[in-house]
Amino acid sequence: MREVLANLIAEKAEEDSNFIVLSGDHGYALFDPIRKRRPSQFVNVGVCEQLAVSLSAGLAKMKFRPLVYGLSSFIPLRVVEHIKLDVCFQSLPVVFLGDGAGLVYSTLGASHQSGEDLAALGALPNLRIYSPSDRYELAISFKEAFTESTPAYIRIGKSDRAACHTSELSSTNPHTIVHSDNRRKLLIATGSLLSPVSQMAKKRNLHCISVPRLRPISKSFVQEILKFEEIFIFEEHSSHGGLCTFITNAIISAGERLPLIHHFSLKSIFTKLAGSYQFALSEHDLSDAQLDNRLSEILDAPRSTQAASHLPHDSLKNDSAEFLK
Partner 1 sequence: MKELNPKKLRKTILDFAYYGQSVHIPSAFSIVEILSTLYSKILTYSHQDPASEKRDFFILSKGHGVMALYACFIELGWLNETDIKNYFHDGSRLRGLAEADIPGLEVSGGSLGHGLPVATGMALGLKKREDARKIICLVGDGEMNEGGIWEALLFAAHHKLDNLLVIVDANQFQAMGRVEEILSLESLPDKFRSFGFDVLECDGHESSAIENSIQKLFSKNKKPKALIARTLKGKGVSFIEGQNAWHYTRLTKETYEAAGKELSLA
Q: Which residues bind partner 1 (CB under 8 A)?
A: 20, 40, 43, 45-46, 48, 50-51, 54-59, 61-64, 81-82, 85-86, 89-90
Comparing CB distances to partner 1, the nearer of 46 and 216 is 46
Nearer to partner 1, 86 or 116 (CB): 86
268 near 223, Cβ under 8 Å? no
- Minimum CB–partner distance for residue 50 and partner 1 (Å): 5
Residue whose CB is less far from partner 1, 59 or 177:
59
Provide the pairing of β-strand 19-23 with 65-71.
parallel
Answer for the pair 99, 192: CB distance below 8 angstroms, yes or no. no
Helix (H, G, I), strand (E, B) or coil at 187: strand
What is the smallest separation between the CB atom of 200 and partner 1, expressed in angstroms? 45
Measured from the CB atom, the residue of 20 and 188 that comes closer to partner 1 is: 20
Asked whether 37 and 14 are in contact (CB, 8 A), the reply is: yes
- Measured from the CB of residue 47, what is the shortest distance to partner 1 in angstroms? 9
Q: How many CB atoms lie within 10 A of CB 306?
A: 7
State the CB neighbour count (10 A cutoff) for residue 132: 29
CA triple 130-136-138, angle to 5 deg = 30
Nearer to partner 1, 85 or 226 (CB): 85
User: Order of strands across the sheet with 207-210?
Assistant: 175-178, 207-210, 185-189, 230-238, 260-266
How near is the Cβ of 113 to partner 1 at its closest, in Å?
Answer: 24
Q: Which is nearer to partner 1, 19 or 136 (CB)?
A: 19
| Sheet architecture: strand order including 65-71 | 42-44, 19-23, 65-71, 95-99, 152-155, 128-130, 213-215
Beta strands 185-189 and 175-178 are unpaired
DSSP annotation string for 115-158: S-HHHHHTTSTT-EEE---SHHHHHHHHHHHHHSSS-EEEE---
Please state the length of the chain: 325
CB of 146 to partner 1, least distance (A): 17
By beta-carbon proximity to partner 1, the closer residue of 6 and 51 is 51
